[in-house]
Structure 1
Amino acid sequence: MEADSGTVLFQHNADELMPPASMSKLMTLAVIFKALKTGQIKLEDEFLMSVNAWRNGGAPSGTSAMMVPVNTKETLEQLLQGIIVQSGNDACMAIAEGMAGNEEAFARIMTEEARKLGLTKSTFRNATGLPDPEHLTTARELALLSRHLIRDFPEYYGRFAQREYQYRKHRFINRNPILSVELGVDGLKTGYTKEAGYGIAASAKQGNRRLILVINGIERQDERKNEAVKLLEWGFKNLTEYKLFDVGEVVGQARVWGGNRMFLPLVGANGVHVAFPRLPANQRLRAEIIYMAPLKAPIAKGDVVAHLRITTPSHAVSEVPLVAAEDVPAGGVIRRGLDTLVHMAFRWAL
C-alpha cells in the first residue's frame, strides 16, 4: 500500500480473515496512543504487574515477555518500549488491566476503535494476539491500521524504529527483522504463533514516498524477512505517479436532488494524482465516479460528495475524494417537487 493515497499496489487474499498474532498489538498501541493524545493517561503513569498479567503474559507463560516482576509497578514509558521492542505480552496485559479493569474489557475497546476506523472485519479478544478462535483480522485492515498509526500519531510513531531496549538486566533487540535493512524501514510489528505462522506489518520511507506492507502465514522466519524485503524493493522500484486531473479541472458530474440545478461538477481538492506500479504501454487505467445518487442540496463548494475509484489491469486500486466545484443552494418548491417525482420513479441507487 502507498501510504499517502492508500493505493493498494499488490494484494493476495487481502480480505481473508486470519489470526494476527502479535500484530494485534498495533491496535493495542492505537488505543494507548489515543488515550495519551487525549490526556486520559500520561507516560509517567504507573501500571501494576498483577499476578494474572505476570502468570499469563510474563516469564511463567513461556511467551514473549518484558519480564516485569510480579506485583511491581512500571511506568507507561517503560511498558511501551517493552511492547514495541520485545513484544511483551505482560506489558500489554498490565496496561489493559490498568486502563479498562481487565483485559476482556480492553479488548472490547480495541474492537470498538476498529469500527470507528472503518475496520469492519476485525475482532479482538485480547490485548496480546495470543491464540483465540474469535481473535481475527485481515491483511487489508492491518495495513489500514498501520496507516492510521503513521498518519494520526506522528509524535509516537518514531518509537517503532527503536532498535534495542535495556530493562533491568534484560537487553532486548527489536523483533522486526528488516529494521536493519537499507530500505528506509522504520516500523511496525511482527507476529508469530503456531496457528498464524510468521507475519509482519512493516513500513518504509524513501524520499517523500512511504509504503506499507502486511504479510502473514509464512512458514519460516527467514522467509518472512526475504519476502518483506522483496516486496518493498519491488514497490519502490516500480511505483510511478500518474497525474490525471489538474487542480480545478472537472472530473465529472453528479446528479443533484432539490437544488437550483440538476448536475454538480466534481473536482479533486488538489487535483487527481495517483501512484501505481508502472504500466506497460498497452495498458490503461480505468476510473469510475462513486457516489450515492442523487446528492441532496444544499451543497457547499468543497464538500466531499463522491470518490474517484481508479484501477489497473493488475487490480491495483486507488480512491481519491471528489469535492463540489460550486455551491448548490436548495431550489424552489417546484424544482424540489419535480426532483421528488424523478427520485420516486427511478429509485436512485449506488
Structure 2
Amino acid sequence: MLRFFLSIFLVILLPASLLAAPIQTDAKQAVIIDHDTGIVLFEKNARDPMPPASMTKIMTVQMVLEAIDAGDLSEDTLLTISEDAWRRGGAASGASTMFLAPRSEVSVIDLLRGLIIQSGNDAAITFAERLGGSEPAFADMMTQRARELGLDSATFRNATGWPNEEHRISALDLAKLTGIQIERFPDYYDIYAERSFSWNGISQDNRNPLLGNFTGADGVKTGSTSVAGFGLVASAERNGIRRTVVLNGLTSQSERRRVAMELMTAAFDQFSILQLYENGLSMGELPVYLGKSETVGLVIRDTVTVPAHRSERRLIKARIDYVTPTAPVDAGAKLAELIISKEGVELGRYPLYASESVDRIGFFGRVATSLAQKIRG
C-alpha cells in the first residue's frame, strides 16, 4: 500500500467574473496560475470537469513519485511488462507508446521517462498494475488520492487518459496538481523538460510545443483525443517567477501551439501580483471612545496580494470598515477590517488589530465626555 502525505500547495480562488477578461482564447477550457502565491490570474471554464486525455498522466506520475518517496518503489526497481500492458499500450493500440516489449523487465526510472517524455500508455498501465494490482483498482486509488489533495473535480477511470465518459478533471485542478508536484518532487520534475528519450532503439521527442520555443518553459504534459481535443499543461519560470497554464479543447496541434504561446506570453507580460500591504504594517489610527488616549493604532497581520492585469490596476480599491471602539481596548484586539475590491466586487477581507492597549478614563472624565457629547447633539 502507498503511504500518502498532504501537500502544502494552495490555490487562491477569486470570483470567476473577475478573471474572464481582458484576454481571450480559443481554448474551451483555460487557466493561468501564479505558482508562488497560488493566485488564479485568468480562467475560462476552468472549474468544469473535462476529459483530460494524456494530461491524466500527471496524476499517474504523482502516484509513482509518492510510492518512491514512501519506499514502495525505487528508481532501480524492475517491473515486468505484462501482455495486457504491451497489447493495450503498444503500437498496435494506435495510442502513445514507449514500445515496451512484453515480458521484459524495465526499471522504474526508465518507465518514468517513457511515461513523461513519450507519454507511453504501456508505461502507465505497467505502473498501474504494480501499484494497484490492476488498472481499474489503480484508477480508484488515483481518484481517492486526488480528493485527498483537494482536487475535488477529479474522477479517474484509467491511468492513461483513454476516453471514458466518467474520466474527468478540471483545468484548475490540473494546474493545482502541477503545483503540488513541482513543490513535492523538484528533482523528478526536471524530467518534464527533457527533449527526447530513446527506448528499444526508438527515439521520441517531447511533444510539449513550448520547450525550446518559450524561454523558461520546463514542462509539463500534452494530451489529445477525439473527445477532449488537443490540450496542454505547461509551466515556465522567468526571473524567479513561475506561471502554470492549462488549456484544452483545441482542434489541432498547430492551434494548441499557437494558443499555448499566447497564454504563456500573457501570463508573464500582462499579469502581475501586486503586494498592497505587508504583515506588521501600520494602517493608521482609530478614534477611541472614553479612552485615556483619543486614538489607537491599527496593524495588519497578513501580507495582502492581489492579481492584476496591466490595464486594470487602477480599478483596485481599498477601504477600512470599523465601528468606533470603546475603551478599554486590549493590544491585539480585532478592531476593523481592510476590504479590497475591484469594480465593486470584493476580493478579500483582512482583519486589523489594535497595536497597543488603551485604558479607560476615570469616572469624572466619562461624565465630562458624556456631557460634551450631549451638547454636540
Please tell me the root mean square deviation across aligned C-alpha atoms, in Å.
Answer: 3.0
- In structure 2, give the amino acid aligned to 1:86: Q
CA distance in 1, matches of 2:353, 2:347: 21
- In structure 2, give the amino acid aligned to 1:147: G
Counterpart in 2 of 1:37? 69
Question: Are the aligned partners of 2:230 and 2:251 in contact in 1 as well (CA < 8 Å)?
Answer: yes
Cα distance, 1:73 vs. partner? 1.2
Counterpart in 2 of 1:267? 301
Question: Are the aligned partners of 1:6 and 1:319 in contact in 2 as well (CA < 8 Å)?
Answer: no
Question: Are the aligned partners of 1:188 and 1:201 in contact in 2 as well (CA < 8 Å)?
Answer: yes
Counterpart in 2 of 1:192? 224
| CA pair 140-323 structure 1, distance change in 2 beyond 3 A | same
- Runs (5+) with no aligned partner, structure 2: 1-32, 284-297, 322-331, 333-337, 355-377
Counterpart in 2 of 1:149? 181
1:113 to 2:145 alignment: yes
CA distance in 2, matches of 1:125, 1:136: 9
Residue from 20, 24, 48 that aligns with 2:56? 24
- In structure 1, give the amino acid aligned to 2:274: Y
- In structure 1, give the amino acid aligned to 2:64: I
- In structure 2, give the amino acid aligned to 1:240: S
Counterpart in 2 of 1:167? 199
Counterpart in 2 of 1:258? none
Cα distance, 1:40 vs. partner? 1.7
- In structure 2, give the amino acid aligned to 1:267: R
Counterpart in 2 of 1:278? 310
Question: Are the aligned partners of 1:265 and 1:325 in contact in 2 as well (CA < 8 Å)?
Answer: yes
1:246 to 2:278 alignment: yes
SS in 2 for 1:9: strand
Counterpart in 1 of 2:170? 138
Counterpart in 2 of 1:255? none
Give per-residue Cα distances to partners, 1:71-101, cap 9 Å, x unaligned: 1111111101101111000000001101111
| CA pair 146-222 structure 1, distance change in 2 beyond 3 A | same
1:76 to 2:113 alignment: no
CA distance in 2, matches of 1:122, 1:287: 38
1:237 to 2:262 alignment: no
Question: Are the aligned partners of 2:278 and 2:300 in contact in 1 as well (CA < 8 Å)?
Answer: no
**TM-score normalised according to structure 1 size:** 0.77
Cα distance, 1:323 vs. partner? 9.6
| CA pair 286-120 structure 1, distance change in 2 beyond 3 A | farther
Cα distance, 1:107 vs. partner? 0.7
1:211-222 to 2 correspondence within 5 Å? 211-222=243-254
- In structure 1, give the amino acid aligned to 2:152: T
Give per-residue Cα distances to partners, 1:56-76, cap 9 Å, x unaligned: 111221110001101111111
Cα distance, 1:187 vs. partner? 0.2
1:59 to 2:91 alignment: yes
CA distance in 2, matches of 1:311, 1:21: 38
Which structure would you say has the larger Rg? 2
Counterpart in 1 of 2:30? none
| CA pair 313-149 structure 1, distance change in 2 beyond 3 A | farther
CA distance in 2, matches of 1:231, 1:126: 29
Q: Which moved more, 1:242-251 or 1:88-97?
A: 242-251
Cα distance, 1:276 vs. partner? 2.7
CA distance in 2, matches of 1:2, 1:210: 6
CA distance in 2, matches of 1:157, 1:151: 9
SS in 1 for 2:127: helix
| CA pair 156-309 structure 1, distance change in 2 beyond 3 A | farther
| CA pair 250-173 structure 1, distance change in 2 beyond 3 A | same
Counterpart in 2 of 1:126? 158
CA distance in 2, matches of 1:41, 1:155: 16
Q: Which moved more, 1:83-92 or 1:278-287?
A: 278-287
Question: Are the aligned partners of 2:175 and 2:246 in contact in 1 as well (CA < 8 Å)?
Answer: yes
SS in 1 for 2:154: coil
CA distance in 2, matches of 1:41, 1:288: 54
| CA pair 6-281 structure 1, distance change in 2 beyond 3 A | closer
- In structure 2, give the amino acid aligned to 1:224: R
CA distance in 1, matches of 2:43, 2:119: 27
Cα distance, 1:180 vs. partner? 1.5
Give per-residue Cα distances to partners, 1:13-53, cap 9 Å, x unaligned: 11112100000001001111111122221010111111111
Cα distance, 1:248 vs. partner? 1.4
SS in 2 for 1:11: strand
Question: Are the aligned partners of 1:288 and 1:310 in contact in 2 as well (CA < 8 Å)?
Answer: no
Question: Are the aligned partners of 2:316 and 2:340 in contact in 1 as well (CA < 8 Å)?
Answer: no
Counterpart in 2 of 1:345? none
